[in-house]
């Protein structure tokens, strides 16, 4: 089962993480904190103190990449539509 889970991940990324590839480590760190930041925004509309402290200490280029990714995720989260909201009495099969 663990082998099946491992096979779903990008092998280059896993190898890069295990070998300490600085570029891959940086991208994974940015993605991790972008997800945390986007969750903060979607749930509370503000960054938590911990999130803001961490992301504001990143180098400016990394901060800019993170903010762009946060914006993408927040927009995607806010534009989600649930099937129950789009099903009407006129929808075939309901």
Q: Model confidence over 19-64: pLDDT tens digits?
A: 888 888 898 899 999 999 999 999 999 999 999 999 999 999 999 9
Backbone angles phi, psi at 29, to 5 degrees: -65, -45
Q: Quick: pLDDT tens for 70-80.
A: 999 999 988 87
Spatial contact of 68 and 31, defined as CB atoms under 8 Å apart: no
pLDDT of res. 3: 80
Q: How far apart are CA 78 and CA 60, in angstroms?
A: 26
For tokens 């979607």, what's the residue?
A: 42
Q: How far apart are CA 50 and CA 12, in angstroms?
A: 30
Using the predicted structure, report yes or no on whether residue 94 has a pLDDT greater than 60: no
pTM of the model: 0.72
Q: How many whole angstroms from its chain centre is CA 35?
A: 3
């Amino acid at each position: 089962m663990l082998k099946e889970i491992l096979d779903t991940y990008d092998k280059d990324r896993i190898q890069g993480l295990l070998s300490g590839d600085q570029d891959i480590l940086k991208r994974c760190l940015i993605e991790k904190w972008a997800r945390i930041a986007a969750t903060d925004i979607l749930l509370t509309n503000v960054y938590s103190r911990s999130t803001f402290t961490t992301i504001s200490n990143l180098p400016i280029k990394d901060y800019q990449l993170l903010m762009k990714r946060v914006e993408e995720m927040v927009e995607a989260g806010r534009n989600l539509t649930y099937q129950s909201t789009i099903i009407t009495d006129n929808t075939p099969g309901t």
